[in-house]
Structure 1
Amino acid sequence: MFLGDFNFYRYADSRNKSRPNFSGMQTFNDCINKQGLLETPLTGCRFTWSNMQKDPLLVQLDWCSTSANWISQYPNTKFTAMERFISDHIPCRIQIGTSIPRSHIFRLENFWTTLPGFLPMVESC
């Protein structure tokens, strides 16, 4: 997992004003792509930093990327922007989860152990 405030943005629309830094974007994206990382989309808020001016510059500086292996093991990983309090940065939260459906979770019922043939069947596995 590659996560944090990188002071770089990946896309021109990751800021609310024109004049994007294409060179910085290319360098940052090359780094992520060379590692084979996949972006975990930010939810909750589009931008994670503000210069706090009257007509503010807003930019997404916080990013989360993971590997394909991570995504297969933790497909419900969420990257969420929280509410800004005092700082010019919005805190972000990462939530790691799996998607094992309840119907596929194995549960051993205690009474099964009392059934005839239970132990031989388990031993044969």
Structure 2
Amino acid sequence: MDRVELYGRMELLERALNFKWEVIIVYGPADHRRSESFLVELKRKVSAAQLSVVVSGDFNLLRFTKDKSNDLVNYPWMQMFNDYIAELGLQELDKVGARFTWTNYEADPTRSILDRVLVLPEWELHCRLASLQAITWIGLDHAPLLLSSENGRPPPPPRFLFEMFWLNQNGFVEAV
């Protein structure tokens, strides 16, 4: 079986809770002949983790038929994905915001939930006020996911605001 690399991992310290955890970022293969190898590698990484784990990213796999805007789904792949999630003891965090996380942007678009955040129960116990928001972002085929581990309201994305008084500042026009 091919070894499939996951995208990356990082350790985080939730200072307010004095809780250290690990996030594994994934990008599942679009070629589903490699999906099982991907899930085997994911299982190896999660099983080897020394800390409580959060697995997040584009899995390129569906969990349920309702996760796609049409009925063209592969039931064996869904079953395999759900079996691995259950075997690892992972739970999916509920999200608010955009219903689907991916679209192909065609005239009659297909939309799917491919991006997810899966956590171990221990993580969820420590981060009880965690929230997950799917942000609609024009121009991207995936909706970014914003995970807040500390409180129920994730901060809004930063926005640039032009201040009119800048025009009156010495050197502004030259600097721009």
**Aligned residue for 1:15?**
68
Check conservation: 2:131, 2:151, Cα contact below 8 A: no
- After TM superposition, where is structure 1 displaced by more than 6 Å over at least 4 residues in a row? none
d(CA) in 2 for partners of 1:88, 1:29: 24
Structure 2 counterpart of 1:102: none
The offset of 1:19, in angstroms, is: 2.1
Q: 1:90 aligns with which of 121, 143, 163?
A: 143
Measured in 1, the distance between the counterparts of 2:151 and 2:69 equals 34
Q: For residues 4 and 49 of structure 1, what CA distance do their matches in structure 2 show?
A: 12
TM-align CA RMSD? 1.4
Q: Aligned runs of 1:1-125 on 2, under 5 Å? A: 1-97=54-150
The answer (yes or no) to whether the contact 2:90–2:119 under 8 Å persists in 1 is yes
Higher strand share: 2
The alpha carbon displacement at 1:98 in A equals: 5.6
- State which structure, 1 or 2, has the greater radius of gyration over its C-alpha atoms: 1
Larger RCO of the pair (alpha carbons < 8 Å, separation 6+): 1
In structure 2, stretches of 5+ residues that fail to align are 1-53, 153-176
Within 1, Cα distance between the matches of 2:151 and 2:137?
28
Normalising by the residue count of structure 1, what TM-score does the alignment of the two structures yield? 0.74
Unaligned stretches of 5+ in structure 1? 100-125
Identical-pair percentage: 30
Letter aligned with residue 36 of structure 1: G
Instruction: Count residues with an aligned counterpart.
Output: 99
